[in-house]
């Protein structure tokens, strides 16, 4: 049986097929924004044709599909979500609009000319009802049913198709929210109804409410999409399991995730880091920088000791999303990033992008200079073989566009292209430095895993700038997220907020919280046919020093605490704190906030096929040369070009050199050497 992963991105839909032998096949189709299932089946159709099978027969032979999609993120960013009504505790309906008082979410505080934040739910659709739960979970006032019905009726009459129920302290007791949900569902069986405590049962009302509102906003469209996809696959003979990639790096069956649609945000990029851990593992590297440079954005993830980091501090667009997400900071840097001159006469590249339309000047529509144009002027990209020849590039247009930037810099087009190349690399290097050093890591201990269609051209230059000794450009670089999805475990995360200092902690109470979460996990997994014996559990707790306001997440030694392992837990906390912030305060009491349980069921480990050592010489892979410009060299250098499909393990290429493939190009800078590993990945090293 085969396995498939399908990543629907903004521009391309990537499909990877893993055969039982471990061989991987790559397919790419255009994304079809109006109905992404079309692009999905285009990509699958290409795969079927490759194997010479009709679609139905091909799908019948597929055991499992893991699917990531940017649909949720796109709906949110482009404001095409559902009309959401919010029912909240009376007297508190503005929390999602006040947004903790943040004025400048992006940009400088000295900029005061900012349009007001537009919450996803306008004020007239945010209605308060009488109810109140206290911080300790006690119900002070049950839901006033008649007020609730009136509010729900008003929202439904306004045409809301999704209702977010947002009550204070619902994380401590969800009774009132559940009651409200039952009543709304009775009144409107087809509405998408989400409660704050079921979506994200943790404290802090703005963060929780904003998250559930986002969930309700993207929920209906994602539910429709997932159902259409399920039906389409069934119609075409697919009898296996369809799993969705989640923001937290786990995968889940459709039925379990549509009710908490917010977890489907960022579902593609969340997978890329596991591709990096897998590939790094092949070379015994556990400190990795996973990068993915596509058309508009550059994502990076810092993986220390093989651990993929997560965060609860994310904003998606202008909206706070507080669920735990794989920590993949992003910056507007990609092939489509535009060059411009700022008010102080400095060259800037990005974050604005020419997007897919008009795209880089070389595509023939736009006239502004993008990174792709600079790369083309420098000779790095093949004009005739971009995406395997699918897109013809017009070199002349790139020159014209870059020349325009050159004029402002008093440079010719060659030098301007060089400056753009360096500038965009600096933008990306700065992001890496910021996320890496913030956590106190030294970049020189890391290996860069370079994914994304544009990653191969820029990776070595970034590595050189940051003194990173080794770069891995995966064979599947342009489909990195899709590849990462093979490595994902099936899972769900549970959380309970419970505030106790280390003196107040009651082991029995914590034990019962975990027993409750475990019960829920077992029930959730039983519904999708997974036995307890296949499951693994990881308990963690968010804690801090008494009085602080930000947490550190620490693994619990066991779900049942006792005096002995509790001591170990405290020691682990002090140690982790010290590592993050250079000091710790063991003399100070710690306090505990949110207890979490991650339940996973491991999937069959992926095995990639290794290839034999090269039988042919390197020259067999040669496909001409291009005249390229390099930093610090006055003249163009005739640079040999190789065909990646014909490279074999053991081949070694000294820079300067270019390696083309139908999905990407890799630049081996002068002074770098490139080795082909057993899986046909490229390893770049300086010297």
Partner 1 sequence: MNKRARSTIDPVTLATVWHGFQSLCREMRSMVTRTAQSYLMATLKDLSVGVWLADGSTVAVPEGLPGQFLGTQFAIEAIREKFKDDLHPGDVILTNDPYHGGHNSHLPDWGFIRPIFHEGELLFFTMVRGHMQDTGGSFPGGYFANAYDIIAEGLCIPPLKVIKRGVEDADLNALIYNNVRFPTEIKIDANAMIATAKFAENRIAEMLRRYGRDTVLGAIHEMMDRTERAVRAEIGAMPDGTYSGDSSTDDDGTVLDQPVTVRVDVTVAGDEITMDFSRSDAQRPGFVNCVYAVTYARAVAAVIIYMDPALADFHNTGSLRPIKVIAPPGTVTNAQYPATVGASPVNVGGQVIEACVEALGKAKPDRSIASWGKHRGDYTFAVDPRTGERYVRTTFDYDGSAGAVWGHDGMTGPTTLTTLGSVQRGSLEEAEIRYPWRMLKLEARADFNGAGRWRGGGGIDWRALNEGSDGRMATGSSDGDFIQVKGAQGGQSNPRSRTLILRGGEKIRVKPHRMAEIKAGDIVVKLSAGGAGVGDPFARPIEKVATDVRREMVTVEGARLLYGVVIDPATLKVDEEATLRLRSAIRARRYEAVINEDTLDIELKPVGETKGNTA
Secondary structure (3-state) at 154: helix
CA distance 344 to 598: 50
Q: Measured from the CB atom, is 501 or 560 closer to partner 1?
A: 501
CB of 310 to partner 1, least distance (A): 16
Residue 113 CA to its chain's centroid (Å): 31
Residue pair 304/281 in contact (Cβ under 8 Å)? The answer is no
From first CA to last CA, the distance across the chain in angstroms is: 44
Joined together, the tokens standing for residue 260 give 């908490």
Question: Least distance in Å: CB of 592 to partner 1?
Answer: 12
Residue 681 to residue 687: CA distance in whole angstroms: 19
Q: How far is the CB of 481 from partner 1 (least distance, A)?
A: 27
**C-beta of 630: minimal distance to partner 1 in Å?**
15
**What's the rounded Cα separation, in Å, for the pair 408 and 350?**
17
Q: State the Cα–Cα distance between residues 296 and 11, nearest whole angstrom.
A: 10
**Residue 60 or 415 with smaller CB distance to partner 1:** 415
Q: Nearest distance from residue 348's CB to partner 1, in Å?
A: 8
How far apart, in whole angstroms, are the C-alpha atoms of residue 472 and residue 480? Answer: 12
User: What number of residues does the chain have?
Assistant: 687
SS (H, E, C) 245-298: ECCCCCEEEHHHHHHHHHHHCCCCHHHHHHHHHHHHHHCCCCCEEEEEECCCCE
Would you tell me how many other CB atoms lie within 10 Å of the CB of residue 602? 12
Shortest separation between residue 673's beta carbon and partner 1, angstroms: 24
Rank residues 315 and 679 by Cβ distance to partner 1 and give the closer one.
315
**Of 582 and 615, CB closest to partner 1:** 582
CB of 140 to partner 1, least distance (A): 8
Whose Cβ is closer to partner 1: residue 222's or residue 554's? 554
Report the candidate in 259, 394, 400, 406 with the shortest Cα–Cα distance to residue 341.
Answer: 406
What residue ranges bind partner 1 (CB under 8 A)? 91-95, 97-104, 107-117, 122-124, 128, 134-135, 168-169, 203-207, 342-348, 409, 419, 422-423, 426, 430, 434, 437-438, 499, 545-550, 581-583, 585, 588
Nearer to partner 1, 400 or 548 (CB): 548
Report, in Å, the least distance between residue 26 CB and partner 1: 35
Q: Please list the residues that pair with 501 across neighbouring strands.
A: 591
Q: What is the DSSP letter of 188?
A: -
CB of 126 or CB of 236, closer to partner 1: 126
E-only strand ranges, 171-267: 192-195, 241-245, 251-253
Closest contact distance (angstroms) between CB of 91 and partner 1 is 4
304 vs 348, beta carbon nearer partner 1: 348
Which one, 59 or 125, has the nearer CB to partner 1? 125
Q: For residue 102, what is the DSSP state? A: -
CB 92 → partner 1: shortest distance, Å?
6
Instruction: List the one residue out of 461, 471, 490, 391 whose CA is nearest residue 629.
Output: 461
Q: Of the candidates 124, 16, 32, 23, which has an alpha carbon nearest to the alpha carbon of residue 64?
A: 16
Of 123 and 613, the one with the shorter C-beta distance to partner 1 is 123
């Amino acid at each position: 049986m085969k396995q498939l992963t399908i990543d629907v991105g903004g521009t391309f839909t990537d499909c990877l097929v893993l055969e039982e032998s471990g061989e991987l096949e790559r397919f790419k189709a255009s994304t079809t924004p109006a109905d992404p299932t079309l692009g999905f089946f285009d990509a699958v159709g290409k795969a079927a044709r490759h194997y010479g099978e009709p679609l139905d027969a091909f799908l019948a032979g597929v055991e499992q599909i893991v699917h990531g999609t940017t649909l949720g993120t796109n709906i949110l960013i482009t404001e095409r979500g559902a009309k959401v009504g919010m029912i909240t505790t009376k007297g508190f309906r503005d929390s999602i609009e006040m947004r903790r008082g943040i004025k400048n979410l992006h940009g400088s505080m000295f900029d005061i000319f900012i349009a007001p934040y537009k919450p996803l739910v306008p004020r007239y659709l945010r209605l308060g009802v009488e109810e109140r739960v206290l911080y300790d979970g006690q119900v002070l006032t049950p839901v006033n049913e008649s007020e609730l019905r009136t509010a729900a009726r008003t929202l439904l009459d306004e045409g809301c198709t999704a209702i977010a129920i947002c009550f204070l302290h619902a994380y401590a007791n969800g009774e009132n929210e559940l009651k409200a949900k039952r009543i709304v569902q009775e009144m409107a069986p087809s509405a998408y109804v989400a409660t704050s405590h079921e979506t994200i049962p943790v404290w802090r009302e703005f963060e929780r409410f904003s998250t559930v509102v986002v969930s309700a906003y993207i929920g209906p469209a994602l539910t429709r999409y997932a159902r259409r996809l399920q039906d389409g696959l069934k119609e075409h003979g697919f009898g296996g399991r369809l799993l969705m990639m989640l923001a937290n790096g786990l995968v889940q069956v459709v039925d379990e995730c549509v009710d908490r649609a917010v977890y489907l945000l960022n579902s593609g990029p969340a997978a890329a880091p596991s591709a990096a851990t897998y590939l790094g593992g092949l070379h015994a590297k556990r400190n990795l920088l996973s990068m993915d440079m596509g058309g508009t954005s550059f994502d990076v993830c810092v993986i220390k000791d093989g651990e993929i980091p997560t965060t609860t501090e994310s904003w998606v667009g202008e909206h706070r999303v507080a669920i735990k997400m794989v920590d993949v900071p992003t910056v507007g840097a990609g092939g489509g990033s535009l060059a411009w001159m700022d008010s102080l006469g400095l060259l800037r590249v990005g974050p604005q992008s020419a997007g897919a339309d008009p795209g880089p000047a070389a595509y023939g529509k736009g006239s502004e200079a993008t990174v792709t144009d600079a790369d083309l002027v420098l000779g790095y990209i093949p004009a005739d073989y971009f995406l395997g020849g699918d897109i013809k590039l017009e070199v002349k247009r790139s020159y014209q566009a870059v020349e325009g930037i050159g004029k402002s810099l008093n440079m010719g087009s060659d030098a301007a292209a060089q400056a753009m190349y360096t500038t965009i690399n600096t933008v990306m290097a700065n992001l890496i430095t910021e996320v890496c050093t913030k956590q106190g890591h030294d970049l020189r201990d890391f290996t860069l895993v370079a994914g994304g269609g544009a990653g191969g051209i820029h990776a070595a230059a970034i590595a050189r700038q940051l003194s990173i000794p080794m770069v891995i450009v995966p064979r599947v670089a342009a489909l990195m997220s899709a590849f990462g999805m093979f490595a994902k475990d099936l899972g769900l995360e549970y959380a309970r907020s419970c505030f106790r200092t280390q003196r107040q902690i009651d082991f029995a109470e914590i034990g019962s919280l975990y027993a409750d979460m475990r019960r829920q996990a077992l029930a959730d997994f039983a519904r999708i046919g997974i036995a307890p014996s296949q499951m693994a559990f990881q308990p963690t707790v968010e804690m801090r020093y008494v009085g602080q306001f930000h947490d550190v997440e620490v693994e619990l030694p066991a779900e049942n605490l006792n005096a002995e392992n509790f001591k170990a837990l405290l020691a682990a906390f002090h140690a982790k704190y010290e590592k993050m912030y250079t000091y710790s305060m063991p003399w100070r009491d710690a306090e505990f906030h949110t207890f979490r349980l991650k339940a996973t069921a491991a999937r069959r480990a992926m095995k990639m096929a290794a290839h034999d050592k090269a039988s042919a010489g390197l020259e067999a892979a040669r496909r001409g040369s291009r005249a390229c410009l390099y930093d610090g060299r006055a003249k163009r250098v005739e640079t040999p070009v190789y065909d990646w499909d014909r490279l074999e393990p053991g081949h070694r290429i000294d820079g300067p050199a270019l390696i083309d493939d139908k999905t990407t190009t890799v630049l081996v800078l002068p002074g770098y050497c490139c080795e082909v590993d057993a899986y046909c990945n490229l390893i770049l090293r300086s010297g």
